[in-house]
């Protein structure tokens, strides 16, 4: 059980491109475990490796409801193959942008190709909250944040607020 510190906006690490995983080995499996521990502790329904400072194309998701059995999912080197024309809107948040939520429109259904923890290449067609969360996490692997899908005015306001908070935190640490 290892909970890792989360990278918080405006840390430029969040804008890095994550690299593909070459081999699904013990290190990758350990990283996925640590990511799930960190996600459940936050709590959240998804986490990309870059959010704990690791620029590798690995993400974890669990959209099971409170009280239901946990259903952890691990996606390695995920690629969106198709998206529906039909959109869906969900009020998103982000563990790297705490306590800020905004409505984001994304394709309602996607087909994604990925590698699982056994190293198998799989394809899945998903919709609902899983589709929204997968797109949110895959954005992270490309250095994209959900605030990049809202108005420039609101995005600049959020970045200004988190930049000010980071400066204050830094000053207090001295
Ligand atoms: O990447 C993250 O920071 C994880 C997000 C995942 C998420 C994706 C799409 C829509 C909402 C959240 C976190 O779990 S943020 C916490 C949260 C959970 C449920 C709904 C809203 C926010
Ligand atoms: Zn996020």
How does pLDDT run across 131-172, given as a tens digit for each residue? 999 999 999 999 999 999 999 999 999 999 999 999 988 766
Percent of the chain past pLDDT 90, that is, above it, reads 94
Q: Give the span between the Cα atoms of 141 and 37, in whole angstroms.
A: 19
Mean pLDDT value of segment 91-103: 98
Domains within the chain, CATH numbers bracketed: 12-168 (3.90.45.10)
pLDDT digits (tens, 9 = 90+) for 68-86: 999 999 999 999 999 999 9
pLDDT bracket for residue 174 (50, 70, 90) = low
CB 47 within 8 A of CB 34: no
pLDDT bracket for residue 43 (50, 70, 90) = very high
Q: What is the mean pLDDT of the chain?
A: 96
Exposure on the CB side of residue 52, measured as CA atoms within 13 A? 23
Backbone φ and ψ of 45, nearest 5° = -110, 0
CB 150 within 8 A of CB 136: no
CB 41 within 8 A of CB 77: no
Distance 45 CA to ligand 1 centre (A): 5
- Residue 19's alpha-carbon distances to 56, 76, 118, in angstroms, are 5, 11, 19
| Closest approach atom of ligand 1 to CA 95 | 3
CA-nearest residue, atom 3 of ligand 1: 94
pLDDT bracket for residue 173 (50, 70, 90) = low
What is the per-residue pLDDT for 170?
Answer: 75
Q: Give the span between the Cα atoms of 140 and 56, in whole angstroms.
A: 11
Active site residue 137: yes
Mean pLDDT value of segment 34-62: 98
Distance of CA 137 to the CA centre of its chain: 3
Mean pLDDT value of segment 2-8: 97
CB 123 within 8 A of CB 81: yes
Distance 113 CA to ligand 1 centre (A): 21
Closest alpha carbon to 36 in 61, 10, 66: 61
Instruction: Say if ligand 1 is within 6 A of residue 46 CB.
Output: yes
pLDDT at 45 over 80: yes
Mention every residue, 6+ apart, whose C-beta is less than 8 A from residue 167: none
What is the per-residue pLDDT for 114?
Answer: 98
């Amino acid at each position: 059980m290892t909970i890792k510190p989360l990278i918080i906006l405006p840390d430029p690490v969040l804008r890095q491109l994550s690299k593909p995983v070459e081999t699904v080995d013990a290190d990758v499996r350990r990283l996925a475990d640590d990511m799930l521990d960190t996600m459940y502790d936050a709590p959240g329904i998804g986490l990309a490796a870059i959010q704990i400072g690791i620029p590798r194309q690995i993400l974890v998701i669990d959209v099971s409801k409170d009280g239901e059995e946990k259903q952890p999912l691990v996606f390695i080197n995920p690629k969106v193959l198709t998206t529906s024309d039909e959109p869906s809107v969900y009020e998103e948040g982000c563990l790297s942008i705490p306590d800020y939520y905004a409505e984001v429109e994304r394709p309602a259904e996607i087909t994604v190709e990925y590698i699982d923890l056994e190293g198998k290449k799989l394809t899945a067609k998903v919709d609902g909250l899983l589709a929204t969360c997968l797109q949110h996490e895959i954005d992270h692997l490309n250095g994209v944040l959900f605030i990049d899908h809202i108005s420039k005015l609101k995005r600049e306001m959020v970045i200004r607020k988190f930049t000010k908070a980071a400066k204050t935190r830094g000053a207090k640490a001295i």
